[in-house]
Amino acid sequence: MDIDAKPVPEFLAQERDEHTPAELQHFFLDFEDFWERRLWHQLTTSLDEFFKDADSAPQRLRLFENFVLSFSDKINQLKLVELGLASSQQCKDEAGNPDYQQALEFLTKLTKRVNNPDSQDAYVYATVEVARIKLCLTPQDLAGARTALDEAEKILDGFDSVESIVHASFYRVNSDYYSTKREFFQYYKNALLYLACVQSTDLPLSKQQELAYNLSVAALLSEKIYNFGELLLHPILDSLVGTEHAWLRELLFAFNAGDLHRYNALAGNFAKQALFAEKEGFLRQKLCMSALTEAVFRRPPHDRTLSFATITAETGVGVDEVEYLLMKALSQGLIRGTIDQVAGAARISWVQPKVLDKGQIESMRLRLGEWDSSVSRLNHYMEQKLAEGVGA
């Protein structure tokens, strides 16, 4: 868009009279007043309020290029980028569809403008959003997006502190990149870090459901994720309750508990997600490992020698698959111990901790009760022996 050469007062008056709804016209009187009095903070606050009003959308790009840029070096650079991002959403083609190429050019110029030593947080913010636009191009510029994200990450790592909006933007776009690449572990990690930077309840319900769905799929399909605790405890997972994807939430809890019957009951839904249908064998193996860790967890530390027959019964794998299952669980760090091929048994010394559901908590309560009884019996025995010794 070409910048209008009109003086600021004339531009604001024309914009107010010709393009602004009556309920928003008072903003333009404030804009001119604050601009003339050089009250940059008040002007920024007023602009921010105006840009957040949905009815201001058609005017944002014109206002940014013809007004905001005239004093861009006078205001908070992070806020300048925020206003620029809101303006870039109005880059559209003649049909009214997003024009990502125009948006990329707009944001690239903005990125260069804020690339100063004292505004590196704003530079990172703008750079990350450039990466986001590159992921929206057709075809996607994945290499360009990765380069921009790597540059942003390097600068972020050097900050002692930075506004949460910058970190949130980085993790959000980074997770989008890994989602495109189908790198489930990296997506899962970055999406959870994004959620740590925002209040999930502030997100639109549709966005909460999208994140919960994608996180669930990533957790289940990743070859590196066997502990879903952080996701199971996050309130965003509850956004799936009552939706067509509610079965995914139930499936996560089935995996966490190593519940073969619950898994089998839910497996009929796999046809709804093509990736699950493709990787059904992997999912069953992953569930069997969860069932193995659950079987170990339920036993007291002094009784964690499991025969191959017991493992077969607990996990549903064939006798000839038990050793492979144990080696896989050992290699993934889910358990520690030894395999006795001669005795046909596994001696487990440690099992990876995980989030407990109500049934698992009840099991732990019973075990603690048994331990308490055992300690009481030992105490009673010691008192008896002590009394006998004194009597002798």
What values do phi and psi take at 139, rounded to 5? -75, 160
Q: Which residues contact 355 (CB under 8 A, 6 or more apart)?
A: 227, 228, 229, 232, 233, 256
> Could you read off the pLDDT tens digit of each residue along the chain, which spans 392 residues?
444 556 899 999 999 999 999 999 999 999 999 999 999 999 999 999 999 999 999 999 999 999 999 999 999 999 999 999 999 999 999 999 999 999 999 999 999 999 999 999 999 999 999 999 999 999 999 999 999 999 999 999 999 999 999 999 999 999 999 999 999 999 999 999 999 999 999 999 999 999 999 999 999 999 999 988 899 999 999 999 999 999 999 999 999 989 999 999 999 999 999 999 999 999 999 999 999 999 998 888 888 999 999 999 999 999 999 999 999 999 999 999 999 999 999 999 999 987 776 666 787 788 788 888 888 898 888 888 888 776 65
Q: What is the identity of the amino acid at 211?
A: L
Q: Which residues contact 5 (CB under 8 A, 6 or more apart)?
A: none
Are 212 and 195 a contacting pair, CB within 8 Å? Answer: no
For residues 367 and 347, give the distance between their C-alpha atoms in angstroms, rounded to a whole number: 20
The two structure tokens encoding residue 43: 């002007």
Of 314, 350, 345, 308, the C-alpha closest to 333 is 350
For residues 236 and 228, give the distance between their C-alpha atoms in angstroms, rounded to a whole number: 13
Torsion of CA 331, 336, 337, 341, to 10 degrees: -30
The two structure tokens encoding residue 245: 């994807």
Are 235 and 200 a contacting pair, CB within 8 Å? Answer: yes
User: Per this entry, what is the length of the chain?
Assistant: 392
Burial class of residue 244 (count of CB atoms within 10 Å of its CB; 0-12, 13-18, 19+):
exposed
End-to-end Cα spacing for the chain: 104
pTM for this prediction: 0.88
Q: Do β-strands 345-351 and 305-307 pair in parallel, antiparallel, or remain unpaired? A: antiparallel
